[in-house]
């Protein structure tokens, strides 16, 4: 499972594919205070990315992937 949904955190692992977007949107709507953890994430499909941009959830951990970190910073500021 590319996104693990914990109690207050969505943990992104590796490569997030196109199919994750819907579940992510649902989870973020249900957990308005839910944080996102990108530490182990290497790429997020554009569909999930636009969900993140629309909601701009608080970030628990930035990605270790430097390039993705730069993009996410720009996108979610």
Partner 1 sequence: MNNLLEQFLSEARDFLQGIAEKLMQLENDPNSTELMVELFRFVHTLKGNSGLFDFPEMTRVLHASEDLMDAVRNGRVSYSQTLADQLLEAMDFVSALMDEIELTGKTGSNHVGTSTELTNALRALLNAPNAVHVPVAIETYTEDGLAVKAISWSELPPMDLPESTAMGLHRCAIDGETVLWLQYTPEPECFFKGEDPFFLIRQIPDVAWRHIILNNTASTLAEMDVFSSQLVFQLLTIASAEELDDLLRYVPDQIHRVKVPALAFVKPSGNSDDVGLDEDFIINILEFFDNDEIETLTNTINTMLELSSPDLWSSSALRWVLHLIETEPDNKPVQRTLLEALRTQKTPDWSALTLPDVEPTRNVVASPVVSINTSEVSDTLLVYFHEVIDAQKEILSLPATSGGAWSAGRLKAVGATLIGCYRAVQRANEVEHIEAALQLALTENSPTPLLIWLDNSLLDTHEPVLVEEHEEHIVVNHLAAQTDAKSNRRSEEIGGANIVAASKTLKVDQDKIDRLMNLIGEMVVAKNALPYLANRAETVFGVRELSREIKAQYAVINRVAEEMQDTIMQVRMMPVSFIFQRFPRMVRDISRKLGKEVELVLEGEATEADKNIIEALSDPLIHIVRNSLDHGLEMPEARLAAGKFATGKLLIRASQESDRVLIEIIDDGKGIDPDVIKQKAYEKGLIDESTLERISDQDAVNLVFAAGFSTADVISDLSGRGVGMDVVRSAVEKVNGTVGIESERGKGTRLFLSLPLSMAVTNVMIIESNTQIFGVPMDMVVETVRVPRAHIRTIKQKQTTVLRGRIVPLLSLNDLLAKSEPQLPNEDDEFATLIVRVHGEHVGILVDDFRETVDIILKPMTGILGGLPGYSGAALLGDGSVLMVLNPRELI
> Which residues in this chain contact partner 1 in the complex, by CB under 8 A?
18, 21-22, 24-25, 28-29, 43-51, 53-55, 67-68, 70-71, 74-75
Q: How far apart are CA 51 and CA 11, in angstroms?
A: 15
DSSP string, 16-54: E-GGGHHHHHHHHHH-TT-EEEEEEEEEE-HHHHHHHHH
Nearer to partner 1, 39 or 46 (CB): 46
Nearer to partner 1, 18 or 39 (CB): 18
* In the complex, minimum distance from the CB of residue 13 to partner 1, in angstroms, rounded to a whole number: 17
């Amino acid at each position: 499972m590319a996104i693990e949904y914990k109690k207050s955190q969505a943990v992104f692992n590796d490569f997030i594919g196109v199919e994750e977007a819907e579940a992510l949107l649902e989870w973020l709507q249900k957990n308005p205070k839910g944080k996102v953890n990108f530490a182990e994430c290497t790429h997020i499909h554009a569909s999930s990315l636009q969900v993140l941009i629309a909601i701009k959830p608080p970030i628990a951990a930035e990605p270790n992937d430097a390039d993705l970190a730069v993009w996410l910073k720009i996108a979610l500021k």
